[in-house]
């Protein structure tokens, strides 16, 4: 990083990870926190996702809790928008939970291994 560049804040780092989540995949708040070296900060990742809804390039709908529950759904316009967005990507959701969560889970650690 150059001397005149500003270090991105935590929310910006979260958004950069979220932008890497592939279409049709999901990750968890905790997985993002762990990737960023702040494993106990899953709640802060949730706050970042909540604050990102005006950013169309941040796929907040792809971030769920560690059990695959759509815990952030109340922060989307319309009560079923998060589910609809996931289902439009081929992810089945029943009772606010992703079916076959392990199949769709994407680990941010893959960012480093793919480069």
> What local confidence, expressed as pLDDT, does residue 98 receive?
98
CA distance 102 to 81: 22
Angle at Cα 35 formed by Cα 98 and Cα 27, nearest 5°?
10
Share in percent of the chain as helix, strand, coil (round to 5): 45, 10, 50
Tokens at 47, concatenated: 């706050």
Q: How many whole angstroms from its chain centre is CA 111? A: 14
> What local confidence, expressed as pLDDT, does residue 115 receive?
46
Give the pLDDT of the chain (115 residues) as one tens digit per residue.
555 666 789 999 999 999 999 999 999 999 999 999 999 999 999 999 999 988 999 999 999 999 999 998 888 887 799 999 999 999 999 999 999 999 999 999 987 665 4
């Amino acid at each position: 990083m150059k001397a005149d560049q500003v270090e991105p804040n935590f929310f910006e780092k979260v958004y950069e990870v979220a932008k890497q989540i592939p279409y049709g995949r999901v990750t968890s708040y905790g997985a993002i926190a762990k990737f960023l070296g702040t494993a106990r900060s899953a709640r802060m990742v949730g706050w970042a996702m909540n604050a990102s809804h005006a950013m169309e390039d941040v796929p907040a709908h792809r971030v769920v809790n560690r059990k695959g529950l759509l815990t952030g759904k109340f922060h989307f316009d319309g009560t079923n928008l998060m589910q609809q967005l996931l289902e439009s990507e081929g992810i089945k959701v029943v009772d606010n939970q992703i079916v076959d969560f392990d199949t769709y889970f994407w680990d941010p650690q893959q960012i480093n291994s793919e480069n």
